[in-house]
Amino acid sequence: MSQVMKIGILFAGTVLCVHAQWLNHPTPGTPRTRDGKPDLSAKTPRAANGKPDLSGVWQTEFAPAGENERLYGSALGAFVVPGDDPRTFSKYFFNILADFKPEDAPIRPAAAELTRQNAARIGPDSPSIQCLPHGITRADIFAYAPFKIIQTPGLIAMLYEVDNTHRQIYTDGRKLPADPQPSWLGYSVGHWEGDTLVVDSAGFNDKTWLDGRGHPHSEELRVQERFHRRDFGHMDLSLTIDDPKMYTKPFTIKVTEVLLPDSDILETVCNENEKDRVHMEKR
């Protein structure tokens, strides 16, 4: 079975929980055009302290037409179902190292071997098919599952629809814990650099994958996210992955998050109605 087909199987099991959101419920404070539609190009909203207010429901921008076929081949088209088209996923969901030629990828030999082993497990043994949390960076770049940001003084909460998980980002000046108990989404602290929220996270366990291909990370992983809301409906997000045990140098990916106005996230419980593994185990 080809690598693309294996990732497609992983994809199929991941997105069966199509997000049924509250639709057409007007969000207070949303700027609108003359026809009443949300004006995504309006000015960035501000919090009481003058910093950008990142609150809202966000979703990773779809890939440019043809990009994934060029990178991964036309086999992705076999996994298109109504409402879910893997050809429009961020290229980084399929390969966190998509910006590198294979020979230039900053991955250590042991991590490359572990990636190959993980790729062979795509299907019933992959973390998401077992209904385990997606972790960071996958939850930030998964184009078919939105996340919600709730911004308050001293704390920002991020709620991920994909697996019903949440994060707390402390902006009250505290430091990262010196000896954290490893967790699925780590521990996060944030500060502002001008109009950009900088979030540093550490304290991850090593049970999640960075992407759908199975690129691993260790408990030494540190992630820095930089959120810059450039207008009402668009936010630039860069993620820097630093894991000296698995990768030879830090590397950065960049995506755009698009606001889903007049909407919301809903509860998703993967293992409540999970019916994929029994079919995959027959393959």
**Secondary structure, 3-state, 1-63:** CCHHHHHHHHHHHHCCCCCCCCCCCCCCCCCECCCCCECCCCCCCECCCCCECCCEEEEECCC
Per-residue pLDDT of the chain (283 residues; tens, 9 = 90+): 455 545 554 554 444 444 445 667 888 999 999 999 999 999 999 999 999 999 999 999 999 998 999 999 888 888 887 777 888 899 999 999 999 999 999 999 999 999 999 988 877 677 877 888 999 999 999 877 899 999 999 999 999 998 889 999 999 999 999 999 999 999 999 999 999 999 999 999 999 999 989 999 999 999 999 999 999 999 999 999 999 999 999 999 999 999 999 999 988 887 766 666 565 555 5
pLDDT of res. 126:
78
The pLDDT of residue 9 is 44
> Residue 50's pLDDT is what?
97
pLDDT of amino acid 274 = 63
**What local confidence, expressed as pLDDT, does residue 5 receive?**
47
pLDDT for 165: 92
Q: Which uninterrupted H or E stretch holds 251?
A: strand 251-259
The predicted pLDDT at position 269 comes to 82
DSSP-derived secondary structure for 72-124 = H-GGGGGG-BTTB-GGGS-HHHH-TTTTS-GGG--B-HHHHHHHHHHHHHTTT
* pLDDT attached to residue 16: 43
Please provide the size of the chain in residues: 283
Pairs from 239-242 (Cβ < 8 Å, separation ≥ 24):
239/136, 239/137, 239/140, 239/141, 241/96, 241/137, 241/210, 241/217
User: What's the angle, vertex CA 154, arms to CA 151 and CA 158, rounded to 5?
Assistant: 40
pLDDT at position 15 is: 46
For residue 254, what pLDDT is reported?
Answer: 98
Of 173, 168, 136, 130, give the one whose Cα is nearest residue 149.
168
Backbone angles phi, psi at 72, to 5 degrees: -120, 0
Rounded Cα–Cα distance for residues 36 and 38 (Å): 7
